[in-house]
Amino acid sequence: MPVELTLRRAAEEVGRGDLASVLRARQRLVGLVASYPDRLDLRERLAEVYRVLGDAAQAGRWSYLSEVRDDAEVAAFERAYRTPLARLAAMNWVSGEAGAATETARERLVALRNAANAQLSAELAVADDRDSSWGANALVLLGLVVVLLCFVVGAVTIVMWGYRWLAG
């Protein structure tokens, strides 16, 4: 179904106002945004449907890159997706900052990507600090040697017991 026809049907369904029709409109728009993730107009229409449904977090998610957005919805989106990496993944933006149609969208994508990079850098720095020490590695190695020694001694004992039983 062409995009314009799908948008018209979604608008008619939202206009009906009953929950089933609004949910169908949401499904249509979700499909369009999945097919055309870089179209800001589709994202704004999807945000409008989520406003009708009363889902501020999703409205903030889909209007995040818009020229005009509601700060309360953006705050709800940021509470629902607590980290910049989670927000970046939730945006489902595929073409990078260069694919944004407006300067505002580009700036917001750059800011979000920079925050996600900072989060990754911080997580990697913590991961480096958590590396185990030589002493811990030596204790693990010693433990493995003891377990292997016990296994060998146990295997030899069972073989000797079996041999004595059969010979005896």
For residue 29, pLDDT over 90 is answered with yes
Give 130-158 pLDDT, tens digit per residue: 666 788 888 899 999 999 999 999 999 99
Q: What is the dihedral of CA 19, 61, 102, 111, to 10 degrees?
A: 180
Between CA 29 and CA 145 the distance in angstroms is 61
For residue 131, the model assigns a pLDDT of 62
Structure tokens at 67: 């020229």
For residue 96, the model assigns a pLDDT of 83
The lowest-confidence range among 6-10, 134-138, 161-165 is: 134-138
Between CA 106 and CA 72 the distance in angstroms is 21
For residue 129, the model assigns a pLDDT of 58
Confidence class for position 167, pLDDT limits 50, 70, 90: confident
Give 54-99 pLDDT, tens digit per residue: 999 999 999 999 999 999 999 999 999 999 999 999 999 988 888 8
For residue 97, the model assigns a pLDDT of 85
CA distances to 129, 137, 141 from 134, in Å: 14, 5, 10
- Overall average pLDDT of the 3-16 stretch: 93
Between CA 113 and CA 126 the distance in angstroms is 20
Between CA 65 and CA 44 the distance in angstroms is 9
For residue 134, the model assigns a pLDDT of 81
- Overall average pLDDT of the 155-165 stretch: 92
Between CA 116 and CA 147 the distance in angstroms is 44
Give 97-124 pLDDT, tens digit per residue: 888 889 999 999 999 999 999 999 988 8
Other Cβ atoms less than 10 A from the Cβ of 60: the count is 26
Classify 1 as helix, strand or coil: coil
Which of 81, 94, 88, 109 is CA-nearest to residue 39? 94
